[in-house]
Amino acid sequence: MSLICLLLILGCNNEHKSVHSTSNLGSQFLTVATDPTFIPFEIQAYKGNLEGFDIDLMNAITSAIGFKVQFESLPFDGMIASLQAKKVDAAISGITITPERLKTISFSRPYLKAGLAITVREETQDIKDIKSLKGKKIAVQIGTTGADFAKTIPNAKISTFNSGPEFFQDLLNGNVDAVISDAFATLYAIKIGTLKGLKVVGNLLTEEYYGIAVPKDSPQLSAINKGIADLLSSGIYQKIYKKWFGSTPPQLPESL
């Protein structure tokens, strides 16, 4: 009798273990691309560790849905192609959800409200808004919404760069007149003193939302969305936001 009990218990345990290890949740890895040149969203910190709002958020999402995350550093411009080729499961990199990108990849629900802005050298007086950018030399990061926006400015001479810090350096060196890039990131870098001698001028040029990018028909998209919803309702999202931005986050739409 007791042997039968023991066998039953062992049987139950074995069954439980095998269910766990073959389940989609459990310890499945999610490979996530990121371009860590975008303070405070993703940066390569001391000893090569990744840090930033996006990194904290992705770690929290994956732990909420029972995945382990494996970050892979990739240049921003190569991210969409890597997703299309399914070389990575997802990408988090302050990526703006745009109709153009939605033709080839999918996005999670929006996780941050953002927008583009013009950055110039502190002493610059003649650039105050989008009209004054006509015919000017503008630096952008290749493949970004800032790069797309710059193309719409009449007679602008556009220089493209592979990573964030490079275009700001070009502006500081006096090679270009302005940078068009994500306002939030630039304002943060100016505030903490990483970017010196620069200022953001005018109003926001666009209203954008960041999403986690995934291949079309990604099997993990609904789990990722559930993770974001969980973090929003448990207050973990708000904590991560406060850690990086020092304030309460604005209300986010559930979809665009």
Side-by-side strand order, sheet with 68-73: 68-73, 29-34, 90-91, 213-215, 105-107
Minimum separation from the CB atom of position 99 to ligand ARG (A): 13
Minimum separation from the CB atom of position 176 to ligand ARG (A): 18
Minimum separation from the CB atom of position 146 to ligand ARG (A): 6
Q: Write out the DSSP string of 50-106.
A: EESHHHHHHHHHHHHTT-EEEEEE--GGGHHHHHHTTSSSEE-SS-B--TTGGGTEE
Where do contacts with ligand ARG occur on this chain (CB under 6 A)?
35, 37-38, 42, 76, 93-96, 141, 144-145, 164, 182
The smaller minimum CB distance to ligand ARG, of residues 145 and 225, is found at 145
Minimum separation from the CB atom of position 38 to ligand ARG (A): 3
The smaller minimum CB distance to ligand ARG, of residues 164 and 227, is found at 164
Tell me, rounded to whole angstroms, the distance of Cα 50 from its chain centroid: 13
The smaller minimum CB distance to ligand ARG, of residues 83 and 95, is found at 95
Minimum separation from the CB atom of position 144 to ligand ARG (A): 3
> Closest Cα partner for 96 from 146, 37, 155, 32?
146
Phi, psi of 65 (to 5 degrees): -105, 10
Specify the amino acid at residue 227: G
The smaller minimum CB distance to ligand ARG, of residues 22 and 103, is found at 103
